[in-house]
A and B are shown apart, each in its own frame.
Chain A
Amino acid sequence: MKHKKWKDGLFLAPGFLTYIVFMIVPVVLCFFYSFTNWDGFSPTYKMVGFDNFVELFQDAAFFNALKVTAIIMVVTVLIYNVLGILLAVILNGNTKLQNFSKSALFLPTVLSSVVVAFIWSYMIQTDGGVINTIIGFFGINPIDYYSSPLMTIFMMSIIICWNSLGFFVVIYVATLSTIPVEIMEASKIDGAGSVKTFFHITLPLLMPGITINSILSVAGGLKQYDHVKVITGGGPGGTTQTVTLFAVKEAFEYNFRGYSSAIVLVLFLIIIGLTTAQLIITKRNEVEY
């Protein structure tokens, strides 16, 4: 088929130009700034070589932010994928209860993270918080969810999961529904119990869903900002601060734009590394049927 090159250009140019100016160029600039001491508004700045990175790898605040991010990522990835698969298995079907439950689970995913964080900071108050009131019915003493950074980080991970678990469950339910019923029945006829069927049939066939969900959940876990910003603001003393929160603070509160660029560049490299590793591992485990 013949087509005019310049007309193709009209189709491609507006989108690609914006994409280049607001995606490709910023990534290149971020890389460039990470080797400078730019403060965000001065017209001049100096090239400082690897100084930002040397400083970064000696900065205790950075390592703490990495640790916080890693904890949030691990807890959320486990909940999204382990609990997510179990929920998908019991919710896979079309009874009234199952459909109602799917809608309930999915509802929080359309809410803004800021809204969710406000609702939950009320829920987890020590005095008069709803969670403590509910566990009080079972005779459990009130818990101070801000008693240690680890406890707070853990609670924030749970809150993040409450916000998005529905999305991951819906993806798993959709993957489950693509598995032919005959396979499940064949396995039952062959005498496999439900546990055996789950591990030998369901789980391997769920691999495409696991690939997508694990990549989305790992990358999502590493980018956390909103919930933490609202619930603790990174405090007390930066102990619950994620890498993104740390980078934004350095960029906009202290105006260390060069240093902040180095932080987000390291985060970016971690995300690329983990995503590539996941793609390689999960692709190897996908099965055909």
Chain B
Amino acid sequence: MKIAGKWIRRILILLFSLVFLIPLYIAIVNSVKPYEEVIKSPLGLPQAITFDNFIDAFNSSKILELYQNSIVITVVSVALLILLSSMAAYVIARRRGRFYKMLYVFALAGIMVPPVVTLVPSIKTLASLNLLYTLPGLYLFYVGTYFSTTIFLYVQFIKTIPVSMDEAATIDGAGPFTIFFKIIFPMIRPCTTTAIIFLSMWIWNDFLNPMYILGIKGGSTITTGIYSAIGSYTSQWNLVFANVILASLPIVILYLSMQKRFMQGMTSGAIKG
């Protein structure tokens, strides 16, 4: 009975893993087959591997330009969010009094707001600042959108660091900037890792916001670029899959290289909250 249970469990686990891996297998094998073979045997391994689809994708959807945009947008937005949120979180976590408590509640209010609520008004604001259809406009929009989540992560974490650290440094004559950047910021690195993982996934994969904030003039990201590129292929699935693989490669490599941190980061962020 017990052994049977163990085997049922193993088989269930295998079946579920297959459900999650088959679509990925399909995308990979069909990206290196010519069109006719995709239609004839979608499930089989390729008879001969061809990279024509990738070359085609490189030429037609300007993949390099899309990569560049997405990387710049993700890196700058995440860096801004980390800097601005951790600084604000530091003051909120350290100071006592009603004012700072209310400020914290005010900062958290944005967590519940779906991005589609802020999109239309932000477009108007960005237009009046001459930032619509520009990358800086998108950075600012992301800082506004994810400030609540990021400050929440940081306040929780900074509260676990003893105040005596700050006090000792103050006695040594250090000002608040020195204390924060030299002492606190290095100590909150685990939290920064979590924030980087979450934020870069959300921003790299975002679709709706860059579509309207960057528009046609402001350039495309990987997601919006792939969306319009694939839209023009209709049923050229071999090309679709080559694009799909190219769009996912960086984030998948990032995930596979720091898998443990990904899972830890995700759970520590969610469970402690």
B-side contacts of A29, CB under 8 Å: 121, 124-125
Once A11-B87, A22-B143 are accepted as A-B contacts, the answer to whether A110 and B110 lie under 8 Å apart by CB is no
Does the CB pair B85–A15 fall under 8 Å? yes
Contact check: which of B39, B122, B167, B252 meets A22 at CB < 8 Å? B122
> Is the C-beta of A170 less than 8 angstroms from some C-beta in chain B?
yes
Once A30-B120, A107-B20, A112-B204 are accepted as A-B contacts, the answer to whether A130 and B26 lie under 8 Å apart by CB is yes
Q: How far is the CA of A17 from the CA of B128 in the complex (A)?
A: 17
> How would residues 3 to 26 of chain A score, 1 for a CB under 8 Å from any chain B CB and 0 otherwise?
110011001101110110111111
Once A112-B207, A174-B267, A261-B120 are accepted as A-B contacts, the answer to whether A22 and B144 lie under 8 Å apart by CB is yes
User: Main SS of the interface on chain A?
Assistant: helix
> Is the C-beta of B91 less than 8 angstroms from some C-beta in chain A?
yes
Once A11-B87, A12-B88, A267-B114 are accepted as A-B contacts, the answer to whether A111 and B148 lie under 8 Å apart by CB is no
A-side contacts of B68, CB under 8 Å: none
Does the CB pair B120–A110 fall under 8 Å? no
Q: How far is the CA of A275 from the CA of B114 in the complex (A)?
A: 13
Q: Which residue of A lies closest to B85 (CB)?
A: A15
Once A120-B23, A209-B271, A212-B271 are accepted as A-B contacts, the answer to whether A112 and B117 lie under 8 Å apart by CB is no
> How would residues 231 to 273 of chain B score, 1 for a CB under 8 Å from any chain A CB and 0 otherwise?
0000001001101100110011011000100110011001101
> Is the C-beta of A114 less than 8 angstroms from some C-beta in chain B?
yes
Within 8 A of B (CB), among A236-264: 244, 247-248, 251-252, 257, 260-261, 264
A8 to chain B, nearest CB (A): 5
B-side contacts of A230, CB under 8 Å: 227
B-side contacts of A252, CB under 8 Å: 212
User: Main SS of the interface on chain B?
Assistant: helix
On B, residues with C-beta under 8 Å from A are 9-10, 12-14, 16-17, 19-24, 26-27, 30, 39, 42-43, 84-85, 87-88, 90-92, 95, 103, 107, 109-110, 112-122, 124-125, 140-141, 143-145, 147-148, 151, 163, 166-167, 170, 175-177, 180, 201, 204-205, 207-208, 212, 222-223, 226-227, 230, 237, 240-241, 243-244, 247-248, 251-252, 254-255, 259, 262-263, 266-267, 270-271, 273
A-B contacts, 9 listed (Cβ < 8 Å): A19-B144, A22-B118, A26-B121, A91-B13, A97-B13, A104-B20, A111-B252, A114-B205, A268-B112
